[in-house]
Structures are given as C-alpha cells and as structure tokens.
C-alpha cells in the first residue's frame, strides 16, 4: 500500500459513497486508475466492505456501555458464537489482564441495554462481567 492508496482510503473513510470520478479528481488520477486501485484493495482484503455510519442524531439516542467479561478456560469460541447473535453487541475484543474480553454494546433504551446485559451474563462460559455505562463523550477521533 502506497501513499496514494492511503489517501484514497482516507477519502473513502470520509464518504464511502463518493463517486469514483470525484475521488479521481481529488487524487489527481484517472477514474480508471482509481477504480483499479479500489478493486485491488478490495481483492487484497484491505477494504473489507462499506457500512452505514450513524449520524450524531442517531448516535445521541443510543445508550452505550463497555462490558468486561471473565471467561471460563477455552470458552472463547463458544461465547463469541453466542455474542454474534446479540445485535446490541457492536464489537468484541479479546484482552489481556483481569478480563478476557471487552465488548462495546449499544441499545435504544435502558430496558434494552439491561436485557442485553442479562443475556450476556447467561451465556455458558461467562464467569463474570463488569459493565461501564457511558455517560458523555468528551473526545471522539473517529472519522466523521
């Protein structure tokens, strides 16, 4: 991946729906060259897909939490399979330290969040959990 690919990915991160002609103009390249680069990045797995990114209005309506999980030994695969079935679980990371997994959870209401936390706690292989409810965002460096 070279600097042009990085610039292209930055532009796509800002607006994945930007027309290839617009991207080409911003990069100073031919449209066919930009399309070929996008195709190559997709084929190599550098670009895994394109997704909906919620705006501030939709994000403000969500209640977010970080959930720290302690797992039984060798239970990670089974726990992940069950977590994938819970739509409120946005991300799951394995971790080192006191906890084995860190989850990012988002729900539309406190009742929905409570239900999700209950479901997580009931998963076979989850030894224990700690939930941290997000109150306000002070820094957000995600591309918007």
In the chain the domains, ranked by start, together with CATH numbers, are 3-43 (1.10.10.10), 56-133 (3.30.70.920)
Calculate helix-pair angle for 20-27, 31-43, nearest 10 degrees: 110
Name the one residue in this structure whose structure tokens are 């977010």.
64
Backbone torsion region of residue 125, taken as left when φ is above 0, otherwise alpha when ψ lies between -120 and 50, otherwise beta: left
pLDDT given at position 89? 97
Q: Which of 71, 63, 125, 58 has the alpha carbon at shortest distance from 88?
A: 63
Name 50's Cβ contacts closer than 8 Å, sequence gap at least 6.
Answer: 12, 16, 17
pLDDT in tens, 96-136: 999 999 999 999 999 999 999 999 999 999 999 999 999 98
- pLDDT of 142 higher than 70: no
């Amino acid at each position: 991946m070279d600097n042009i690919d990085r610039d292209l990915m930055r532009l796509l991160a800002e607006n994945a729906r930007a027309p290839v002609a617009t991207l080409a103009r911003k990069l100073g390249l031919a449209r066919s060259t930009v399309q070929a680069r996008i195709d190559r990045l997709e084929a190599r797995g550098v670009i895994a897909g394109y997704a909906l990114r919620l705006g501030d209005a939709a994000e403000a309506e969500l209640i977010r939490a970080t959930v720290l999980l302690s797992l039984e030994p060798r239970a990670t695969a089974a726990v992940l399979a069950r977590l994938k079935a819970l739509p409120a679980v946005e991300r799951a990371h394995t971790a080192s330290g006191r906890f084995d997994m860190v989850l990012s959870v988002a729900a539309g209401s406190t009742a929905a969040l409570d239900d999700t936390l209950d479901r997580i706690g009931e998963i076979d292989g989850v030894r224990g959990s700690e939930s941290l409810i997000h109150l306000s965002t002070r820094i957000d460096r995600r591309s918007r």
